[in-house]
Amino acid sequence: MIVGIPKEIFPGERRVALTPAVVPGLVKNGLKVIIQAGAGTEAGYPDADFIARGAQVVPNRQDVFAQADIVTQVLCYGSNDKTGREDLPLMRKDQILIGFLRPLGGREVVQDVAATGVIGFAVELMPRSTRAQAMDALSSMGTVCGYKAVVIAAATLPRLFPMMTTAAGTIPPARVLVIGAGVAGLQAIATARRLGAVVSGYDLRPAAKEQVQSLGAKFVELPIEAANAQDAGGYAVAQDQTFYNRQQELLGQAVADSDVVVTTAAIPGKKSPVLVSADMVRRMAPGSVIVDLAAARGGNCELTVPEQDITVDGVRIIGQINLASTAPYHASLMYSRNLAAFLGLLVKKGQLIIDTKDDIIRDTLLTRNGQLVNQKIREFYSLPKLEAL
């Protein structure tokens, strides 16, 4: 059985799905690994490293899809809404496709993937369980994004992050507010703390308070409580507009007092909630920075423009998307380990085993036999339940 690694084709994407370090383990499990020439170069993994670990380099994308029984990607069609459609004619029935497929992004796109006949696994659907932790690509990429958001903010802010006592006097520390205490938010808090800033964190989930405080940050408590703050997987649940209006009102002073605001609140399958209004931005001091990690879904800041950096009344609003790609070496390293662990569950001694009684396989399986088969995603799109996968 052959595992293929094509070069990523999303504009500006520098990651690679598998790195040389995991190749020997895959080979030992009875898999042959092929990679498109140059697929890992921009991430810092040259072809020679893959060859040295037992992989074979093939000249082009068509060869990878034609030969591979399993295709591993970072951004498959769905998450790659710009150029991903180009891969559809290369796919074939019963070929395995593993990567970010963005299943909640649009029913038509998912059905386009299903129509190719591929058996598609969407890594963002990985269950949040102890057993699945090693395969949790969403958390891995969230870690990278949280770190990079703060590094970008520190480079943009026209002041230093740490307090310094110098011959010219004491320099006060920067004040950083992180909204949303998921994986990306917690990493942003930890990074800002390491850089010496005074950090506050806010999340509508009461359970996040202890996590924020454990990192040495102050938890911003608001006199407002969500009726149902999180789902069974630990993700925040969308609230009604009345809640968000009240939340904005109460968060206004915390935002105004901050030099940097990092927003991370995303609701799967929905537009990002607006947590920072235009009025709140105008109350911030000139030179302040907002890094909106929810920009791809519209943004948590009312003024965010996805894929652009803008300045409003002296406040820099950074709407950059795909931040994980800006640290491609380690982002690829973590993602590769996630996929290798998943492949270890899916393949035993070179034999493919799709055991839909296994919750990890069942929850990530998206398409099969020309259909959208994931029950949760079918419910999301109001499709009738399938009797069997």
Clarify whether residues 183 and 120 are in a common domain.
no
Is 136 among the catalytic positions?
Answer: yes
Residue of 56, 133, 308, 351 with catalytic role: 133
Is 200 among the catalytic positions?
Answer: no
Backbone φ and ψ of 170, nearest 5°: -90, 135
pTM: 0.93
Q: 108: exposed, middle or buried (C-beta count within 10 Å: 0-12, 13-18, 19+)?
A: exposed
In a domain, 168, yes or no: yes
Residue of 49, 69, 235, 283 with catalytic role: 235
> CB neighbours (10 Å) of residue 86?
12
Calpha distance 67→229 (Å, rounded): 46
Is 133 among the catalytic positions?
Answer: yes
Clarify whether residues 259 and 150 are in a common domain.
yes
In a domain, 263, yes or no: yes
Residue of 139, 247, 272, 288 with catalytic role: 139
Residue of 128, 205, 246, 283 with catalytic role: 128
Of 321, 344, 366, the position where a domain reaches its end is 321
In a domain, 385, yes or no: no
Q: What is the CATH number of the domain that holds 119?
A: 3.40.50.720
Residue of 79, 87, 102, 136 with catalytic role: 136
Note down the domain range covering 107.
2-136+328-380
Clarify whether residues 294 and 174 are in a common domain.
yes
- Per-residue tens of pLDDT for the chain, all 389 residues: 999 999 999 999 999 999 999 999 999 999 999 999 999 999 999 999 999 999 999 999 999 999 999 999 999 999 999 999 999 999 999 999 999 999 999 999 999 999 999 999 999 999 999 999 999 999 999 999 999 999 999 999 999 999 999 999 999 999 999 999 999 999 999 999 999 999 999 998 888 999 999 999 999 988 776 656 555 555 566 667 777 777 778 798 999 999 999 999 988 888 999 999 999 999 999 999 999 999 999 999 999 999 999 999 999 999 999 999 999 999 999 999 999 999 999 999 999 999 999 999 999 999 999 999 999 999 999 999 987 65
Nearest alpha-carbon partner for 247 in 225, 230, 279, 278:
225
Clarify whether residues 263 and 367 are in a common domain.
no
Is 73 among the catalytic positions?
Answer: no
Is 15 among the catalytic positions?
Answer: no
Give the count of domains, the chain: 2
